[in-house]
């Protein structure tokens, strides 16, 4: 009998686990996801800023595994896990498993601030990125019509909460949009009233990265006109005012939230198996503590057993990829009755793009910046796009857009149902 592996979540961890096992006839794999596509999160900010299309970084699961007879796809939202019955309940059906792998990743953490949760603009999913794109373009159109200086300033102000790689990359992209696009295409707007604020509670941007990266990000964004506020956090957002921890406030219609994440909830998992940040506590082999045949990989899991990472691994794509591959190999070792291999993270470095042709790269032994770092960023971000549209074409599109500063996909779209004939 083939062992049935159910994988909840088609991100980096889940996809790489499947790719490592899809030719092993001893396993039958079912991928469960609320979306019918895999996407590449590191580039989602370029979708939100109208730089690239969502299709550049997305690919349907069914097409991705269409030639794999042992892999099937089940579209649905996870409702509950019942460990005693070895079942996973979704809103579209219930699946029985021999091994369950939880790889749903994280969602935005608003730290209990209800107004921020309701009104801020997160950017964790393709849907959120497209909504943010529409919001920015609509706000620009409204600002172009508005004659009231105070109201125009509120419309043109953008506040980004979170000075990590996503916040820095987004701030740089938006600043360059204002410099190269808004001046030319929105002559009605007084750009002197526009401000981009980047806020972080820590004393530096890109806090997990090197001092070279931190200093470069700060100086480059300041040159682009971004107003950087450090050692201060967002405490509330009401009446179109971002309230800061130092008592000051910023009027804006646009608060973009990149300030933190929390593990997605998995009803049915024992309370004692849930750790800090709602991440699932796992052993050195990614098995969820206090469970049988349930595993967690990627951003959702918290492994405290590796000596170099006593507080858990960073929530990065490389960790998820490596954990997915290691767990796949361990499933094969279980079937072969061999000794399992504990997970050890191979840190390959981190990077962030700051502005046009300018990035920072931290490798394990040294750091560098500038155009070479930008080329490295470009190359590294094309490699994982396996199964996506032509990598060469995407690279050419990127170069063309960076050179011309004129992406042509700034479309405001309103997908809605036609009530006359029931079509969309």
CATH code of the domain containing 79: 3.50.50.60
CATH value at residue 180: 3.50.50.100
Question: What confidence score (pLDDT) does residue 408 get?
Answer: 60
Higher confidence at residue 387 or residue 297? 297
Return the closest-CA partner of residue 123 out of 155, 160, 73.
160
Same domain, 45 and 118: no
User: Please, what is the end-to-end C-alpha distance for the chain in angstroms?
Assistant: 44
Same domain, 156 and 229: yes
Is residue 397 over pLDDT 90?
no
Of 214, 231, 259, the residue at which a domain comes to its end is 259
Q: Name residue 254's beta-bridge partners.
A: 158
- Residue 188 inside a domain? The answer is yes
- Residue 317 inside a domain? The answer is yes
- Residue 306 inside a domain? The answer is yes
Same domain, 73 and 84: yes
**Cβ within 8 Å of residue 192, ≥6 positions away:** none
Same domain, 90 and 123: no
Burial per residue of 290-320, b for 16 or more beta-carbon CB atoms within 10 angstroms, e otherwise? ebebbbbbbbbbbbbeeeeeeebbebbbbbb
- Residue 386 inside a domain? The answer is no
- Residue 407 inside a domain? The answer is no
Residue 294 φ then ψ, to 5°: -120, 130
User: What does the mean pLDDT of the chain come to?
Assistant: 90
Same domain, 181 and 79: no
Q: Hey, what long-range contacts does 299-305 have (CB within 8 A, 24 or more apart)?
A: 299/11, 299/105, 299/106, 299/261, 299/263, 300/9, 300/102, 300/103, 300/104, 300/105, 300/106, 300/263, 300/264, 300/266, 301/102, 302/275, 302/276, 302/277, 303/343, 304/275, 305/342
Q: What is the 3-state secondary structure (H, E, C) of the chain?
A: CCEEEEEECCCHHHHHHHHHHCCCCCEEEEEEECCCEEECHHHHHHHHCCCCCHHHHEEEHHHHCCCCCCEEEEECCEEEEECCCCEEEECCEEEECCEEEECCCEEECCCCCHHHHHHCEECCCHHHHHHHHHHHHHHHHHHHHCCCHHHHHHHHCEEEECCCHHHHHHHHHHHHHHHHHHHHHCCCCCHHHCCEEEEECCCCCCCCCCHHHHHHHHHHHHHCCCEEEECCCEEEEECCEEEECCCCEEECCEEEECCCEEECCCCCCCHHHECHHHCEEECCCCEECCCCCEEECHHHEEECCCCCCCCCCCCCHHHHHHHHHHHHHHHHHHHCCCCCCCCCCCCCCEEEEEECCEEEEECCCCEEEEHHHHHHHHHHHHCCCCCCCCHHHHHHHHHHHHHHCCCCCCCCCCCCCCCCCCCC
Is residue 11 over pLDDT 80?
yes
Q: What's the structural domain count of the chain?
A: 2
Q: How many CB atoms lie within 10 A of CB 398?
A: 18
Question: What confidence score (pLDDT) does residue 393 get?
Answer: 63
Same domain, 179 and 229: yes
- Residue 415 inside a domain? The answer is no
Higher confidence at residue 260 or residue 379? 260
Same domain, 9 and 103: yes
Question: What confidence score (pLDDT) does residue 221 get?
Answer: 96
Question: What confidence score (pLDDT) does residue 423 get?
Answer: 40
Is residue 347 over pLDDT 70?
yes
Is residue 389 over pLDDT 60?
no
Structural domain of 198: 114-259
Same domain, 37 and 83: yes
* 293-334 per-position pLDDT tens digit: 999 999 999 999 999 999 999 999 999 999 999 999 999 999
Same domain, 126 and 249: yes
Rounded Cα distance, 39 and 364, in Å: 27
Same domain, 132 and 242: yes
Give the confidence band of 416 by pLDDT, cuts at 50, 70, 90.
Answer: low
Is residue 421 over pLDDT 50?
no
Higher confidence at residue 386 or residue 198? 198
Of 315, 335, 355, the residue at which a domain comes to its end is 335
Question: What confidence score (pLDDT) does residue 419 get?
Answer: 46
Query: Per-residue pLDDT averaged across 198-205, rounded?
Result: 96
Same domain, 139 and 247: yes
304: left (phi over 0), alpha (psi -120 to 50) or beta: alpha
Is residue 394 over pLDDT 90?
no
CB half-sphere exposure, 101, CA atoms < 13 A? 34
- Residue 156 inside a domain? The answer is yes
Same domain, 93 and 130: no
- Residue 27 inside a domain? The answer is yes
Is this model's pTM higher than 0.85 or not? yes
Burial per residue of 74-111, b for 16 or more beta-carbon CB atoms within 10 angstroms, e otherwise? bbbebeebebeebbbbbeeeebebebbbbbbbbbbbbe
CB 143 within 8 A of CB 239: no
Higher confidence at residue 140 or residue 6? 6
Of 259, 289, 318, the residue at which a domain comes to its end is 259
Question: What confidence score (pLDDT) does residue 385 get?
Answer: 62
């Amino acid at each position: 009998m083939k062992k049935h592996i159910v994988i909840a979540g088609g991100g980096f961890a889940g996809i790489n686990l499947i790719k490592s096992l899809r030719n092993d006839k001893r396993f039958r794999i079912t991928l469960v996801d609320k979306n019918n596509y895999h996407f590449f999160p590191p580039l989602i900010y370029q979708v939100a800023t109208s730089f690239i299309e969502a299709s550049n970084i997305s690919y349907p699961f069914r097409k991705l595994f269409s030639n794999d007879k042992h892999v099937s796809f089940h579209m649905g939202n996870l409702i509950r896990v019942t460990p005693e019955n070895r079942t996973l309940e979704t809103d579209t059906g219930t699946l029985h498993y021999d091994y369950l792998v939880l790889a749903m990743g994280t969602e935005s953490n608003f730290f209990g601030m209800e107004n921020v949760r309701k009104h801020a603009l997160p950017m964790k999913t393709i849907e959120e990125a497209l909504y943010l794109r529409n919001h920015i373009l609509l706000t620009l159109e409204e600002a172009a019509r508005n004659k009231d200086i105070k109201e125009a300033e509120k419309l043109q102000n953008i506040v980004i909460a979170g000075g990590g790689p996503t916040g820095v990359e987004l701030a740089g992209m938006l600043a360059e949009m204002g410099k190269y696009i808004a001046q030319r295409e929105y002559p009605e707007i007084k750009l002197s009233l526009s401000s981009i604020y980047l806020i972080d509670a820590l004393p530096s941007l890109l806090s997990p990265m090197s001092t070279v990266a931190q200093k470069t990000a700060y100086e480059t964004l300041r040159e682009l006109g971004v107003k950087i506020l450090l050692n201060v956090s967002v405490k509330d957002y009401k009446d179109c005012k971002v309230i800061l921890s130092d008592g000051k406030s910023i009027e804006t219609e646009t608060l973009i939230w990149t300030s933190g994440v929390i593990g997605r909830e998995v009803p049915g998992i024992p309370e004692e198996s849930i750790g800090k940040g709602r991440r699932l506590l796992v052993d050195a082999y990614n098995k969820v503590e206090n469970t049988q045949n349930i595993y967690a990989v990627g951003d959702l899991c918290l492994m405290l057993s590796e000596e170099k990472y006593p507080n858990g691994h960073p929530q990065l794509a490389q960790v998820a990829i490596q954990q997915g591959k290691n767990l796949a190999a361990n499933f094969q070792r279980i079937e072969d009755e061999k000794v399992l291999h504990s997970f050890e993270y191979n840190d390959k470095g981190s990077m962030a793009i700051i502005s046009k042709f300018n990035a920072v790269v931290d490798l394990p032994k040294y750091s560098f910046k500038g155009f070479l770092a930008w080329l490295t960023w470009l190359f590294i971000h094309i490699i994982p796009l396996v199964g996506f549209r032509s990598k060469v074409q995407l690279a050419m599109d990127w170069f063309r857009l960076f050179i011309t500063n004129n992406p042509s996909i700034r479309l405001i779209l309103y997908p809605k149902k036609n009530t006359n004939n029931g079509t969309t």
